[in-house]
Structures are given as structure tokens and as C-alpha cells.
């Protein structure tokens, strides 16, 4: 990347300006992003500076699996086996959710 571009080396940008996530990517929560239980509302949220995202049970499982070690493909394989679900559907759903996290700048791709 050229000087002053503001982008990190190794990142793929989508048309919306966010990182384009691929199944082989290994991702983790971005710096400053934390999974927390909101005791008042009784729900789990993903907290980032000046923003939050409420999560359902499946989203919590996905976020917890983003360990910075396994690829999205490996996570999908494990979920398909654990929940006896069609691998293609699991892959599609997980990738869509992880892409949404990327669009919100809540994850980082390991390079």
C-alpha cells in the first residue's frame, strides 16, 4: 500500500471499505472489542469503543470460536459436526456473520 493510505498491509478491502472475509481467514476480536453480559438487559453484547452489538446464542458461539488460531473453515467444520448440520449452510451462515463483524470493524484478520 502507498504511504498515507491508512490501510494495513495484508488486508483485503471490500467495496464498502471493510475487510473482505474469506473462509481460509483466521480472525480474532479487534483491539478494544470485548464480549460482555449486560446484567441489566439480561443479554450478551459485543462491546467496542462507542458501539455495541447484541448477540443471540449462535452469535455467541461464533464469537467465542474466533480464537485467532483456527480458520473460519475449521470453525465451520467443527460446528457442522457438533450440531449435525449441513456444512454448506453452516459455512454460509458463519461467513455472513463474520463479514458483518468485519463491516463493523469488530474483528481483525491475522496476517
In a domain, 25, yes or no: no
CB burial of residue 86 (10 Å; 0-12, 13-18, 19+): exposed
User: What are the pLDDT tens digits along the chain (111 aa)?
Assistant: 443 334 444 444 444 457 899 999 999 999 999 999 989 889 999 999 999 999 999 999 999 999 999 999 999 999 999 999 999 999 999 999 999 999 999 999 987
- Residue 77 belongs to a domain: yes
pLDDT at residue number 41: 85
Half-sphere exposure of 35 (CA within 13 A, CB side): 17
Cβ atoms 109, 8 nearer than 8 A: no
Q: What is the pLDDT of residue 111?
A: 73
CATH number at residue 91: 1.10.10.1150
User: Is 18 contained in some domain?
Assistant: no
Q: Is residue 90 part of a domain?
A: yes
Quick check: pTM over 0.85? Answer: no
> Within a domain: residue 10?
no
Number of structural domains the chain divides into: 1
Residue 56 lies in a domain: yes
| Cell 452489538 sits on residue | 53
Domain encompassing residue 89: 34-109
In a domain, 85, yes or no: yes
| Residue 75, in any domain of the structure | yes
Amino acid at each position: 500500500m502507498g504511504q498515507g493510505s491508512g490501510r494495513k498491509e495484508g488486508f483485503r478491502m471490500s467495496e464498502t471499505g471493510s475487510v473482505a472475509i474469506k473462509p481460509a481467514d483466521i480472525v480474532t476480536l479487534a483491539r478494544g472489542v470485548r464480549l460482555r453480559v449486560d446484567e441489566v438487559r439480561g443479554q450478551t453484547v459485543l462491546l467496542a469503543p462507542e458501539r455495541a452489538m447484541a448477540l443471540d446464542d449462535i452469535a455467541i458461539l461464533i464469537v467465542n470460536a474466533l480464537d485467532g488460531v483456527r480458520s473460519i473453515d475449521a470453525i465451520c467444520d467443527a460446528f457442522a459436526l457438533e450440531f449435525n448440520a449441513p456444512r454448506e449452510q453452516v459455512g454460509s451462515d458463519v461467513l455472513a456473520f463474520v463479514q458483518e463483524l468485519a463491516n463493523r470493524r469488530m474483528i481483525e484478520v491475522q496476517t
